[in-house]
């Protein structure tokens, strides 16, 4: 009988000690990823503020769609210019995504942050707005304007909770 009482006391003590341990709350990991590219090659033969893409540019736009194909992108943003819309179009069409517009004068504002939080996003911009967008996310002037002949730079900005990292890939 003493053995049984001792065994019950030991089990009760073991269970109560185990339940006294507080589990650490699991921290939610929220990741937002931005893929930022400049529009593909534009037609410079016609003097206009809103040129379309050249044949080479259309080819590059299709190539961007292939490069980004497996990235599980949730949203596609572009400025309202023909060249950026045409660059975004092959990817958006293939993945049945609407091309949403953003105002390059108001980069990464509170509304944009809220709409894209926790998502993977493709953003098509210009030689000046693409690095400016990355700089705005970073909160510092790290990247300069993209050279006018460079249409193959891919900025990948990852935000994991409050930590931001940038990777640049070159597809020229």
Taking only the tens place, the pLDDT of each residue in 110-156 is 999 999 999 999 999 999 999 999 999 999 999 999 999 999 999 99
Predicted TM-score of the model (pTM): 0.83
Looking at residue 42, what DSSP letter applies? B
Give the pLDDT confidence of 20-59 residue by residue, as tens digits.
Answer: 455 666 667 899 999 999 999 999 998 999 999 999 999 9
Q: Strand 75-78's sheet: what is its strand order?
A: 99-101, 75-78, 120-125, 31-38, 153-160, 163-170
Tokens of 101: 């517009």
Distance (Å, whole) CA 33 – CA 36: 10
| Rounded Cα gap, residues 164 and 149, in angstroms | 28
Q: What is the pLDDT of residue 165?
A: 97
Go through the domains of the chain in sequence order and give each one's CATH number. Answer: 31-170 (3.40.50.1240)
């Amino acid at each position: 009988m003493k053995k049984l009482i001792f065994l019950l006391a030991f089990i009760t003590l073991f269970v109560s000690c185990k339940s006294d341990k507080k589990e650490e709350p699991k921290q939610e990991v929220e990741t937002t990823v931005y893929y930022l590219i400049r529009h593909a090659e534009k037609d410079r033969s016609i003097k206009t503020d809103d040129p379309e893409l050249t044949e080479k540019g259309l080819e590059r736009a299709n190539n961007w769609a292939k490069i980004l194909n497996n990235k599980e992108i949730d949203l596609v943003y572009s400025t309202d210019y023909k060249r950026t819309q045409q660059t975004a179009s092959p990817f958006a069409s293939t993945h049945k995504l609407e091309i949403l517009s953003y105002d390059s004068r108001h980069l990464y504002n509170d509304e944009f942050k809220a709409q894209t939080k926790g998502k993977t996003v493709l953003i098509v911009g210009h030689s000046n707005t693409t690095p400016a967008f990355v700089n705005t996310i970073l909160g510092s002037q790290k990247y300069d304007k993209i050279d006018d002949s460079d249409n193959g730079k891919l900025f990948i900005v990852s935000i994991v909770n409050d930590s931001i990292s940038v990777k640049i890939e070159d597809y020229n």
